[in-house]
Amino acid sequence: MTFPTAPDKTALEQGETLSPRFDAAGLIAAVASHADTGEVLMLAWMNAEALEKTIATGEAHYFSRSRGELWHKGATSGQVQVVAELRVDCDQDAVWLKVRPQGDGGACHTGAVSCFYRVVENGKLVRK
């Protein structure tokens, strides 16, 4: 699958064609939230191949900027993310995946349910 370029702003913002706008590095931001609870689980990046594989398989694939490679979420950890819904923002430069995590329900490589497991309190990070 290759993604077409939208011919104009109206087609991009109002049309029916998926025309993701990848950045100069070929990436698009991807937010994953729990399909049932709405909790934000993680922010990651996708390249065209990751987005294509996510659509084709129904499981989240991302692109690891630090490793420079495609990453099937949960392939080694068992924390596969089954995609319940995939949305794109108004100008198609970000995607939102509503997922159902498998395994023990964790999303973060630290073992936490969400990658956003710390809050800033009095200038310090506190695990919640």
Domains contained in the chain, CATH given: 9-127 (3.10.20.810)
The pLDDT of residue 105:
66
CA angle 67, 73, 77 (to 5 degrees): 95
The answer to whether the CB of 39 falls within 8 A of the CB of 113 is: yes
Report if pTM > 0.75: yes
Spatial separation of the C-alpha atoms in residues 38 and 86, rounded to whole Å: 14
pLDDT digits (tens, 9 = 90+) for 85-117: 999 999 999 999 999 999 886 788 888 999 999
- The SS3 assignment for 116 reads coil
For residue 32, list its beta bridge partners.
42, 97
The pLDDT of residue 76:
87
Statement: residue 1 has pLDDT above 80:
no
Beta strand segments in 47-121, E: 61-64, 69-72, 81-88, 94-101, 118-121
pLDDT digits (tens, 9 = 90+) for 7-48: 999 999 999 999 999 999 999 999 999 999 999 999 999 999
